[in-house]
Chain A
Amino acid sequence: MTSLPISIRSLTKAHGALTVLDGVDLDVRSGEFMTLLGPSGSGKTTLLMVIAGFIRPSSGQVLVGDKDMTRVPPHRRDLGMVFQNYALFPHMTVGENVAYPLKRRSYSKAEIADKVNAALKIVQLEALSERYPSQLSGGQKQRIALARAVSFDPRILLMDEPLSALDKKLREHMQIEIRDLHDRLGITTIYVTHDQREALTMSDRIAVINEGRIAQVDAPAALYEKPKNLFVADFIGDSTILPLHREAGRLMLNGAPIHPGCAPEAIGTAPHLVIRPEKLEVLRDGQLPAGQNLIEGALRSALFQGDSVLVQVELADGAVLSLRQPGRHNLPEPGHRIRLGLPIADTVVLAGA
């Protein structure tokens, strides 16, 4: 089976005055696991439905391989789809569900039986082929929906928040299982979610979508470490975002200079400092290692959270920032002065809106 790249070109979808998708360009590489991540109402599901062929775009193109799919009806797009609520056919057995796409294609009875078996084997549920969906657990339903979506060797797999109906533990297990399935089949996959942790865990690359536009497309680590705008910085991870002032060409936070990790002229107007809680380090009095920015404030609280301690620090202007560290060692008493070091390489400064 060969998988195909997907290319989305200046795609726009408008309902009257409301623009749901606003000139989206996105290239998904062959065999890539691409996640569309965004808050609800950002247009990520609409984008998926355009790729699937259920929504006709106002303008723009969807290319699969080098073929223009924009006007091709859904049943001729040759793609597997998994929905949030599984959408198994309740009046058919598991085997009949998985055979459904095969019966729509010209396979012989024996071939269909083989392929159904193979697909059920992939999700390790061969024994359930005679059951009805109502007799399955949530996780089993999800696996059957997956088996049905890949039984006919589609070139592309689309998933619309497939795990949101499962409980946390099962969800985390299924994330790994779906990623594993993707790696084994090598199928180009587009996955929609609003759960950033899920996106970071599973994806090769993530397209962050906001208000119908793509805010950033990058690998999970790059997205986390080097957000390109404040929306991405705020949406991914727990960040503290603080406005900076410019004084004589330098960036200042409460009168102290901040050296950004990138060239200061690249930042533009209204600079903001983005701080990830695990990048900050508590410094001893008088200590300032080279290559670090110094931030001073007063300790407000230190909350034990099991695997880490969440420390809240109040700055001179009343802004509060959070940091995370493994234990309570070298923390002052609440209300006392605390000195924090932020490596210049991790100092992200972005232009505000």
Chain B
Amino acid sequence: MIRWLTSPAWDQVAHYRRLWLYAIAILVMIILVAPTLIVIPMSFSDSKYLTFPPTGWSLGWYRTFFESSTWLMATKTSLLVAVFTVLVATPLGTLAAYAIHESRLAAMSGVHAVLLSPMMVPVIMVAIGLYFIYARLELLNTKLGLVLAHAMLAIPLVVITVLAGLKTYDMNQERVARSLGAPRWLAFWTVTLPQIRPAILNAVLLSFLTSLDEVNVALFISGGENSTVTRVMFNSLRDEIDPLITVVSTCLVLVSVTIVLVVQLANRKSHQ
């Protein structure tokens, strides 16, 4: 094995000799997706309880979901908050990443650390802090409050992603554009932005999913008609365990997968 690792690259390793490697890769992938995939057949169950494998098939729980105003309202809240989180976090995070990348100020490393700090603190602490601040600002149980909180959680991801994109970008291009007569914002818009587009699309994806999947903060600061899906799921799990929850999960998986695919497709297009 050591000899295999140290042998030069041109020494081709036969496929059968790395079967173990493929086996590990497949195992890891199964472990990653199995919990997600197991939920989907469970959502088509006709049982009153969570069972796997289901004893019989039915769309009954889907009907229950689409007839429940609580669930529909929560879904609408979650999607709306996720979209606005993207709209707030992506531009702000991108501008911050640009500043961190371009500035030669010594204080900029401090700014960088502050922007990443929501990732370093346990989310539950962030949630508790937000609860007390929002109580004073009367932002509890509002969509605005949720968007601001989720944007705070998403901005570090946007900053990291866009910074990585800027690292492989040649800033001289923007300088050339400026020397050729474009004001700085226009040079950024016409030259820099199209080239860091894959990073920005990934940032969009990450902030959307961060908001959609978020539970901790939502538990503390959302409620009433502005409850998120994740919060309603959590409540319903506490009261009763029925297959409705798997219907919601399946829908969330569907939304996430769609978004990931759209971003992947857009990235591939911008590569060409």
CB nearest neighbor in A for B197: A91
A75 touches B191 (CB 8 A): no
A87 touches B183 (CB 8 A): no
Q: A90-B195, A91-B195 are in contact. Are A83 and B176 (CB under 8 A)?
A: yes
Partner of A75, one of B173, B183, B190, B194: B183
Partner of A89, one of B173, B178, B183, B186: B173
Q: Which of A76, A77, A83, A149 has the most CB of B within 10 A?
A: A83
**A47 CB–B CB distance under 8 Å:** no
**A79 CB–B CB distance under 8 Å:** yes
A101 touches B180 (CB 8 A): yes
**A304 CB–B CB distance under 8 Å:** no
A83 touches B182 (CB 8 A): no
CB nearest neighbor in A for B171: A87
Interface string of B179-221 (1 = CB under 8 A from A): 1111110110011001100000000000000000000000000
**A289 CB–B CB distance under 8 Å:** no
B170 surroundings in chain A (CB, below 8 A):
85, 87
Task: Output the least CB separation between B267 and chain A (Å).
Answer: 14
B191 surroundings in chain A (CB, below 8 A):
89
Q: How many cross-chain pairs have Cβ atoms below 8 Å apart between A and B?
A: 64
Give Cα A52–Cα B176 distance, bound, in whole angstroms.
Answer: 10
Q: Which of A76-123 contact B (CB under 8 A)?
A: 76-81, 83-85, 87-91, 100-101, 104-105
A81 touches B181 (CB 8 A): no
Q: Which of A76, A78, A91 has the most CB of B within 10 A?
A: A91
A91 touches B194 (CB 8 A): yes
A87 touches B172 (CB 8 A): yes
**A205 CB–B CB distance under 8 Å:** no
A75 touches B179 (CB 8 A): yes
CB nearest neighbor in A for B180: A101
Partner of B172, one of A83, A90, A105, A149: A83
CB nearest neighbor in B for A52: B179
B180 touches A100 (CB 8 A): yes
A74 touches B172 (CB 8 A): no
B175 touches A152 (CB 8 A): no
Q: A54-B175, A83-B175 are in contact. Are A75 and B182 (CB under 8 A)?
A: yes
A87 touches B175 (CB 8 A): yes
A79 surroundings in chain B (CB, below 8 A):
179
Task: Output the least CB separation between B256 and chain A (Å).
Answer: 29
Q: Which of A60-84 contact B (CB under 8 A)?
A: 73-81, 83-84
List A residues at the B interface (Cβ < 8 Å). 52-54, 73-81, 83-85, 87-91, 100-101, 104-105, 148-149, 152, 158
- 18 A-B pairs with C-beta separation under 8 A: A73-B183, A74-B175, A75-B179, A75-B184, A79-B179, A81-B179, A83-B172, A83-B176, A84-B172, A87-B176, A88-B173, A89-B177, A89-B191, A90-B195, A91-B195, A149-B180, A152-B181, A158-B179
